[in-house]
Amino acid sequence: MNKLVDNLNNLDDVRPSSLSHLESLESESIHILREVASECENPALLFSGGKDSAVVLHLALKAFYPERLPFSLLHVDTEHNYPEVIQYRDAVVSRNELKLIVASVGDSIKKGRVHLRAENEPRNKHQTVTLLDAIEEYGFDVCIGGARRDEEKARAKERIFSFRDEFGQWDPKNQRPELWNLYNARVFPGENIRVFPISNWTEEDVWEYIKREDIQLPSIYFSHQRAVVKRNSLLVPITDLTPARDGEVIEDMFVRFRTVGDITCTAPVASNARSIDEIIFETKTTRITERGATRLDDQTSEASMELRKKEGYF
């Protein structure tokens, strides 16, 4: 320990008297992550390269600091990715010496576990099969995810430690009571708990934290020029998977992504925000929610997310 005193001359002199909202949220998330690591046999941290999973990973690295992460990362890969996101994912993994498992929807298709109705259809909902197969193959008892309650109304109802039965099903009418900071992480073999350490964070909190902690993100989160068409009040990026339809006018616009997912169902928003400060300003003043502005698959019915979660989705 004396060597530490020599090595580290960076004592914080501040005696705190109360916690800011970000400090409270961070502390709660770290407490949750430490509970998972202590109570569960074989957790996996779901990592897509998106901003929410980047924040959860950052919190996990802090929670166990200076120890390395005591569990692996799992990417349920739609294979409908922007290359910047995969480059980012791999850079993060190598920089932090993490163990990454990639379970791809493409493999599930090859194995006949997933059947496509159209070749380039969105693969978001198909991730459920790939995820559940990976959970079974690797024997994960817990999957740690970056979902937030402010994203969507079914998520707003979900526990921080969310129990899934052997079919991966969420039973929203019969959730385990979850009191104080006492979490029940117990499962039998084959069952699984989804743990959401940033349940109580908002989109704005995530951005403020990314700024405070200087967390690196894929470049497509920041304003860049991209070929898009306007379709149903959303901007649809033009890619090999998502060509323009007859009669649509392709425009080169300055856009950024508020959320990163399957190319075929994630839309960017018009934006000139190149810095985190500019993004925070836009987040504070936007009149449209994160999913409302960006997801092409959540609005099909009032209960799409609830239905997917009941089937085993994240």
Partner 1 sequence: MDTNNPTTVSGLLRFITAGSVDDGKSTLIGRLLFDSKTLHEDQLSAIQASSRKRGMQSVDLSLLTDGLSAEREQGITIDVAYRYFSTPSRKFIVGDSPGHIQYTRNMVTAASTADVAVILVDAENGVKTQTRRHLYLAHWVGVSRVVFAVNKMDTIGHNQTTFELIRDSLINLAREIGYEAVDVIPVSALHGDNVVNRGENMPWYRGNTLLEYLEQVPGAHDSSNQIFRFSVQRVLRVNRDNVQKFSAFENIDCRGYQGLVLSGQVAVGDRIVVSHNGSEARVQRILLSNKRFGQAAISGQSVTIFLANDIDVSRGYTFSNPDQPMSVARDLDAALCWFDENPFDRSKTYLMKYGSDLMRVKVKEIQYRVDVNSLERLDAENRLAMNDIARIQLRSQRDIAFDKFAVNRETGVFILIDEINNHTVAAGTIQ
Selected from 115, 117, 173, 245, the binder of partner 1 by CB under 8 A is: 173
- The interface region with partner 1, picked from 102-110, 111-119, 122-130, 295-303 by CB under 8 A, is 295-303
Q: Which of 44, 46, 27 shows the shortest CA–CA distance to 36?
A: 44
Closest CB to partner 1 among 12 and 240? Answer: 12
Query: CA–CA separation, 186 vs 110, rounded Å?
Result: 34
Contact positions with partner 1 (CB under 8 A) in 139-168? 149-150, 153-154, 156-157, 159
DSSP-based three-state secondary structure for 270: strand
Contact positions with partner 1 (CB under 8 A) in 111-140? none
Q: Is 110 in the site for partner 1 (CB under 8 A)?
A: no
* Shortest distance in whole angstroms from residue 249 CB to partner 1: 24
**Which long-range CB contacts under 8 A does 171-175 form with residues at least 24 apart?**
171/310, 172/306, 172/309, 172/310
Q: Are 148 and 203 in contact (CB under 8 A)?
A: yes
* Shortest distance in whole angstroms from residue 245 CB to partner 1: 23
Radius of gyration over every alpha carbon of the chain, rounded to an integer in angstroms = 20
Query: CA–CA separation, 135 vs 233, rounded Å?
Result: 37
Q: Is 293 in the site for partner 1 (CB under 8 A)?
A: yes
Contact positions with partner 1 (CB under 8 A) in 232-271? none
Residues 6+ apart with CB under 8 A from 144: 33, 36, 43, 44, 45, 46, 56, 60, 71, 194, 195, 196, 197
* Shortest distance in whole angstroms from residue 277 CB to partner 1: 15
* Shortest distance in whole angstroms from residue 112 CB to partner 1: 31
Q: Is 100 in the site for partner 1 (CB under 8 A)?
A: no
DSSP-based three-state secondary structure for 77: strand
Contact positions with partner 1 (CB under 8 A) in 14-43? 14-28, 30-31, 34-35, 37-38
Selected from 107, 109, 172, 254, the binder of partner 1 by CB under 8 A is: 172
- How distant, in Å, are the alpha carbons of 1, 9, 35, 79 from that of 5? 7, 7, 29, 48
Contact positions with partner 1 (CB under 8 A) in 34-93? 34-35, 37-38, 61-68
Contact positions with partner 1 (CB under 8 A) in 185-214? 186-188, 199-200, 202, 204-205
- The interface region with partner 1, picked from 42-50, 136-144, 177-185, 260-268 by CB under 8 A, is 177-185
Using CB under 8 A as the binding criterion, the count of chain residues that bind partner 1 stands at: 76
Q: Are 88 and 49 in contact (CB under 8 A)?
A: yes
